[in-house]
Structure formats: C-alpha cells, structure tokens
Amino acid sequence: MSAPVLFTASTLLSAYQSYQQGRAQEAMYDVQALQATAESERKALEYELRANDTLRSLRQRNAANIARGYGGGVVGLEGSSKLVETVNNREAGRDLMFDISNTKNAILQGQTQSEIYNTSADIARQSGILDAGAKLAMAGYGYQQIGGNPFGMQSVSPYKASL
Amino acid sequence: MAEDRRYRSRGITLESQGRLDLSNIQEGIRASQTLERRLDQVSELALGQMKRTAIKEGKQYGAQNRPSVQQIYDAIQSGKPVDELLADPDTVFGEAARGQQAGLLYQDLINEFNINTQGVLDAVNKREITDPAEVEQIINANIEGFGRVMAQIDPDYALKFRASAATTGFDVVDKAKKHIQTETVRKTRVDIDTQLNIFKSSYASIIERSPNPIDIEALTLVHENNLKGLFAQDPDKESEHLANFNKLKTEVLHDTVANYIVSNNMMGEASKDNFGKYNALLLAQDSMNPGTIDAIKSKINKVYDNQQNLITKQKEQANAMVDVQAAELIAGNSNGFITDEDLFTQLDSIGYTLSAKERADILSDQQPTIAQLDEYSNLELKVNLGQIGPSHLDEARLENRITYKQAAELKDKYNKTQTTLKAGNDIIYKTFRIDELELKQMGRDDPTRALIAEAQDMLDKRRIEVLRMQEQDPSIIFNQREEARAIAEKVKGEYIQSQAPVVWTIANRLLKDYPEYYNSEDAFLTLSEEQVKQMVMDNDKVSQRNKQRYAARIIEHLRKLKSYKLGVIPSEK
C-alpha cells in the first residue's frame, strides 16, 4: 500500500472515529435522559402512594373520633370531638400537601434532567462532527504542504546523485 | 383496645430532588476544548509552514546580501556597529539570514586566514622571516584579529573559527620552526666553513711569523674559542666539526713546515731532523702527538715531488705551446702565406728544432698523392669532430699516409678547434632549448641562466681534465660535443628532478578543496588553465576577491609542472 493511500485511509478512519464517538456520546445521553424521566416518575409515584396512605390514616382517625364521641354520649360532630377532628385534618392536610408538592417536584426534576441530557446529546453529536471536519481539513492542508515534482515522475535535474 | 383517634403528623416535608447533573455544560466545555485543541493544531501547522518559508527566504536573502569581509573591516575601523551590515536576528527570517551571512563570512575568514598563513610560510621559505617567535606572533595576531571580527558577527562561529584556525596555525608554526631550525643549522655550517677557511690562512701566517708553541696558542686562543662556540650551535655535528678543525690545524702545520723546508732547500737538514726555526714547535707537537715529525718528513717529500712535477709540466706546456705555434707556421707555409726562409727564421726564434727530414719535407715541392689527399680529408673530418688528436696525426705522418705539411695543417686545425668551446656551448644551449640571444635577455636570477653557466663551467673543467690526461696518454681525445651533451643533460635532469616535486607539493596544497586532483599529480596535469579558472570560480570556499589570485597561483604551478614534464625549465620572467 502506498504512503498517500495509507495516509488518506487513516485520516478518513480517524475522522469517522471522531464522528462515531460523538454519536455514541449522544446515544448515551439519550439513554440517561430516559433514565432520569423514569426515575422521577418512580419517585413521584412513591410520593403519591404515601399521600394516599396519609388520607386513609386520616379517615380512620376521624371515624374513630366520631365513634368515641357518640359512644361517650357526646355528639360526635360537636365539642371536643370536633376539635380533635379539626386538628387531625390540619395535620394530615399538611402531610398530604407536602407529598403532592414532592410528587410535582420529582416530575419537574426528572423533566429538567432529561432536557439537560438531551442538550448534552446534541452537543456531543455536533462536537463529533466538528472534530471529524477539523481532522479532515488539517490532513488536507498538511498533504497540500508536502508538495511534489511538478514535472511528474520524469526528472529534469541535470545533476546525477553522487552519493 | 381503642383505636387512637388522633392523627399524628408523619413529619413529611418538601424533599430535596437531588442535584441536577449539568452534563450539558460539561459536554459543552469538553467540545469547546476539543475544538480549541484542534484549532491550535491547525494554527501551529500553518505557523510552522510560515516559519519554514521565512527560514528558507531568510537563508536566500543572507546568501544574496552578505557583506564582504572588507565591509566588516571598514565598519569596525570607522567605529560603526557591525550589526547594521547584517540581518536583524530577532525574527525568524532575520535569524536565518544572519546565520547564513555568518556562515559565509566564517568561510571567507578561514580562507583569508589560510592564505595569510601560506604567505607566512612562503616568507619563511624566502628567509624574509627568520625568527620562530615572529611566526607565532603573526599567526596569533591573525587568529586574534579574525576571531574578534567573527565575534562581532556570531559568537558561535567565532569559537569555531578560533578552534579551526588554532589547529592550522599550530601546524604552520611547527613547520616554520622546523624550517627555520634547518636553515639556521645550514647557515651555521656555512659560517663554520667560512671561519675555518679564515682560520686556515690566519693559522698558517701565525705559524710562519711566530713558530713558538706558546705564542701560537696565545695568538689563536680567541679565534679557536669563537670557532668552538660556533661548533656548539650545531650539536648534531659538533664532534665532527671539532675533528675537522684539529685535522685542519695539523694539515696547515705540515704544509707550512714542508713549504718552508722545500723553498729553503733544507731537505738534507730535514732528513737529519733539523727543521730550522720550527724545531721547538715540532718537538712540542711530536711530544703531544707522536709521529708528527715522521708525517712532516713524508709531507716534505710530497711537496718536493709536486714541485718537481710542476716544473716538468711547465716545461712540457712550454713545449706544447711551441708545438702549437710551429704547427700554425708550417700550415701557413704550406698554404703559401709564409716563405720557407721566413718559416725557418721564425721556427728558430720560438725554439722549435726541425730534423733534417722535416726540413727536407718542407723544402720539397712534391705534391700529396691522391691517397694522401683522401686520407687528409678523412682525418680532417675526424679532427673537426674531435675524434682524433695530434698523436694520431703524427702516426699517420710516420706511416706516410699524409705528408708532413698536411700533418702540420691538421694539427693547426686541431689546436684551433680545441682552444674554443663554441661547439660544446652550442650543444648546451640546444639541450636547454635556448639560444645565446635569449640567454642574454634572461634575468640574473633565472635558473636556466645559472644552469647553463654551471654546464659550461663543467665542460671547461672536463676539457682541462682531458688535457691533463693527454699528457699521460696522448691518444685520449676530448670530444667536446659528446661531453657537452652529457653534461647538459645531467645538469638539466638533476635540476628538474629536484624542482618538480617542490612545485607539485605547493600545487597539491592549493588543491585540497578539489578531491579529484588532490594527491593525484597525473590528474592535475590533465587540467587546462580554463578548467582551473572555472574550478576556482565554482568553489564557494574561496572568497570572491581571492578567486583570481588563487586561480593564478594554481595556474602558475600547473605551467611549471607541465614544463618540467616536457624537460623544459620554465623561465622566471
């Protein structure tokens, strides 16, 4: 294989490698974006389940409270029973609201991270293309600077090689 | 158990959602860095190319715009900064140009230095410089001077120059020292010879005037000490000089005493060990060197014999002169220029005695026979060619092959041919490929002139030598043509043999930049003068202003060498 052919082949391969590297990086970021979305949704679901649990616990407590009021001869929906219920509702409401916020935050965070990864993927792809282009340009310039015999293979020099 | 009716808060609060992975920023930075790196590489590539172009152009500029050594000297002498003549080294272009200029100037200075050192060696060879310290001083001054100039141009090249010049300089100083030493010894030996000759005559005079051993010692002490001091300046041959000196003293003593005894006719006294005024001196000498008296007696006999021989020879020479004059007179008579009566009168007046038969032959009118005329022609040719002498002519006359008058004529011819060396001298001129007129136009120092004079002198000496030999054996012939040819060829051959290697050695030194001709005399001789000029013009190591001088020197030696190879001595005109 002649040197110019070897040079061209290795330059093209190197440029292609840079391009492929960019594409691989892009693919990796795409996967990471999907992972981030999945993870945030998993976390949002956990918060949702906990919020449901809070609601269920509140209903049980309030039912018990009413039952006890009526059982003690007190109107279950008035007086201390009502006070207990009010306090329960406030406490549970706070827990519930936090978990709802957590769910929203998890979704938002997942979306944001996913967007970031998508952007990274774009940059990686573009960087790969630019690097490959720069390599090709450099090789072309370098090859041009080597120069050659403008008269082809036939020597026009009158001098014989003495060494 | 009753169920708790109170709801207790489970302590739920807003939970942190963890830190966002800002990979976009990191990726952006990473991409930016990659791109930056790549762009840096592109810039470096382009800058590298620009630098290479600048270096190439700088070198071209440096080669095309280099200042001459003379310009550098002028700048230094006028106090101008040398930097103004050279490229600014603060840029890539300037640095390359400066490097090129410095390299070329370095080469120029090395060439100039080599020419100067060669000049010093030439001056040593011509004896214009006779002190090794002076050689060292000149070489050091050259190294220092050129080194300073180079230092102002480029310190690295200055170091290189000093190293190279020091090596060459050392060789030159060493050669010069050896040459001067040889010359000094040679001069000392000439001085010794001269002083010994002076001492010889002075010592003879002292012995004659004051034949007292004590007086002689006192009068010669200073001279002797001076001579011994001179001998000590030639340590290799000091003992030989001393031995020669003692031998000379002995010879002078013996000669002086022997001459005194012989000239005062005291041989009889001397045989009885009475040497007159030299008695005391000889007794003293004999006591120191036993056998002195016997040696002197033997010397006296030799001197006496020589004196007698001399007297005999003088007589013979006088007779020979008479013979020559008589032959001329008889030849004149034979040709009718002198009458018989006048001839007899003149022969009487020069003391030449004629026998009765000779007288009858002269008075006889009988003409030579045809055979005698033929023989006469034959013998005349031989006389002219120097192949026969008077004894052969006498022989021919006695055998009646020629008449008495014919013999006298031929003898006269012989005498006239032999008294001039014109034929021989003509042959010497021919051998040196020159004629008398050209010889007169030659300079006093021309070697051909000196060589011709030497050959003529040798021919003359040879003639005298043969004449002496003829006294013993009259059949010996002096063939001046043959002798002249042999002598001239010998003188010329010896001179060429001694000079050609000297010329080649100098030429070879000038050829060291040309490997095709260096150490190859045959290859050098194939060169034409045009080729030499071209060769020097193409040599970048020789500065432009020295090229002509350098080529002229090579051509001068090429001409000489070619001339020697043709057997011709080149004229110094």
What average pLDDT does this structure show over B144-152? 86
- Predicted pLDDT at A152: 47
Q: What is the pLDDT of residues A84-100, one digit of tens each?
A: 889 999 999 999 999 99
Cβ pairs A/B, distance under 8 A: 115
Contact present, A55 and A154 (Cβ < 8 Å): no
Q: DSSP label at B338?
A: S
Closest Cβ–Cβ partner in A64, A65, A138 for B41: A138
- Predicted pLDDT at B289: 83
CA distance A108 to A88: 30
Nearest-Å Rg of the Cα atoms of chain A is 37
Q: What is the pLDDT of residues B325-365, one digit of tens each?
A: 888 888 888 888 888 888 889 988 888 888 888 888 888 87
Q: Give the Cα-Cα-Cα angle B268, B271, B275 (nearest 5 degrees).
A: 85
Contact present, B41 and A138 (Cβ < 8 Å): yes
State the pLDDT confidence band at A124, using cuts at 50, 70 and 90: very high
Cβ–Cβ below 8 Å for B4 and A64 = yes
CA distance B305 to B289: 26
Considering only CA atoms, which of B370, B367, B369, B389 is closest in space to residue B379? Answer: B389
Say whether pLDDT at A161 is over 70.
no
Q: What is the pLDDT of residues A143-158, one digit of tens each?
A: 877 765 555 444 444 4
Q: Which residue matches tokens 């000498």?
A: B285
Cβ–Cβ below 8 Å for A138 and B45 = yes
Say whether pLDDT at B401 is over 80.
yes
Neighbours of B388 (CB within 10 A): 22
CA distance B15 to A38: 18
Closest Cβ–Cβ partner in A60, A88, A95 for B10: A95
Contact present, B77 and B125 (Cβ < 8 Å): no
Cβ neighbours for B51, distance < 8 A, ≥ 6 positions apart: B92
What average pLDDT does this structure show over A114-131? 93
* B interface with A, Cβ–Cβ below 8 Å: 2-10, 12-15, 17-18, 20-24, 26-28, 30-31, 34-35, 38-39, 41-42, 45-46, 49
Closest Cβ–Cβ partner in B3, B7, B28 for A123: B28
- Predicted pLDDT at B444: 66
Contact present, A54 and A92 (Cβ < 8 Å): yes
Closest Cβ–Cβ partner in A65, A95, A127 for B12: A95
Q: Which segments of B334-426 are extended strands (E)?
A: none
Quote the minimal CA–CA distance from B40 to chain A in Å: 11
Considering only CA atoms, which of B4, B138, B10, B368 is closest in space to residue A51? Answer: B10
Considering only CA atoms, which of A150, A142, A162, A146 is closest in space to residue A14? Answer: A142
Q: DSSP label at B354?
A: P
- Predicted pLDDT at B312: 85
Q: What is the pLDDT of residues B442-469, one digit of tens each?
A: 766 777 888 888 898 898 888 888 877 8
What average pLDDT does this structure show over B537-546? 83
- Predicted pLDDT at A151: 53
Say whether pLDDT at A104 is over 90.
yes
- Predicted pLDDT at A147: 65
Cβ–Cβ below 8 Å for B21 and A117 = yes
CA distance B339 to B255: 53
Mean pLDDT for chain B? 86
State the pLDDT confidence band at A117, using cuts at 50, 70 and 90: very high
Q: DSSP label at B448?
A: H
Q: What is the pLDDT of residues B513-540, one digit of tens each?
A: 888 887 888 888 888 888 888 888 888 8
Considering only CA atoms, which of B107, B106, B60 is closest in space to residue B87? Answer: B60
Q: Which residues of B touch A43 (CB under 8 A)?
A: 17
Find the residue in A nearest to B29 (Cα).
A123
CA distances from B462 to B419, B459, B472, B474, B478 (A): 13, 5, 16, 16, 8
Q: What is the pLDDT of residues A14-47, one digit of tens each?
A: 999 999 999 999 999 999 999 999 999 999 999 9
Q: What is the pLDDT of residues B31-83, one digit of tens each?
A: 888 888 888 887 888 888 888 888 999 899 888 888 888 888 888 888 888 88
Q: Which residue matches tokens 């030493």?
A: B181
Q: Which residues of A touch B10 (CB under 8 A)?
A: 54, 95
- Predicted pLDDT at A43: 94
CA distances from B509 to A39, B118, B379 (A): 95, 10, 59
- Predicted pLDDT at A59: 93
Quote the minimal CA–CA distance from A13 to chain B in Å: 17
Tokens standing for B373?
């005329």
- Predicted pLDDT at B2: 57
Considering only CA atoms, which of B245, B263, B260, B257 is closest in space to residue B285? Answer: B257
Say whether pLDDT at A162 is over 50.
no
Cβ–Cβ below 8 Å for B9 and A84 = no
State the pLDDT confidence band at B241, using cuts at 50, 70 and 90: very high
CA atoms within 13 A on the CB side of B87: 26
CA distance B358 to B510: 76
Cβ–Cβ below 8 Å for A123 and B17 = no
Contact present, B44 and A131 (Cβ < 8 Å): no
Contact present, A98 and B13 (Cβ < 8 Å): yes
Say whether pLDDT at A159 is over 50.
no
What average pLDDT does this structure show over B89-115? 89
CA distance B101 to B61: 9
State the pLDDT confidence band at A1, using cuts at 50, 70 and 90: low
CA distance B87 to B68: 14
Q: Which residues of B touch A40 (CB under 8 A)?
A: 17
> How much is the ipTM here?
0.73
Angle between helices B480-510 and B544-565 (to 10 degrees): 150
Cβ–Cβ below 8 Å for B2 and A64 = yes
What average pLDDT does this structure show over A53-64? 92
Report CA torsion sign: B37, B39, B42, B44: negative
Quote the minimal CA–CA distance from B25 to chain A in Å: 8
Tokens standing for B470?
């003829």
Burial A121-159 (b: 16+ CB within 10 A, else e): bebbbbbbebbbebbbebbeebeeeeeeeeeeeeeeeee
CA distance A124 to B26: 10
Burial environment of residue A161 by CB neighbours within 10 A (0 to 12, 13 to 18, 19 or more): exposed
Find the residue in B nearest to A128 (Cα).
B31
* Side chain identity at residue B445, one-letter code: D
Q: How far apart are the first and last CA of chain A?
A: 28
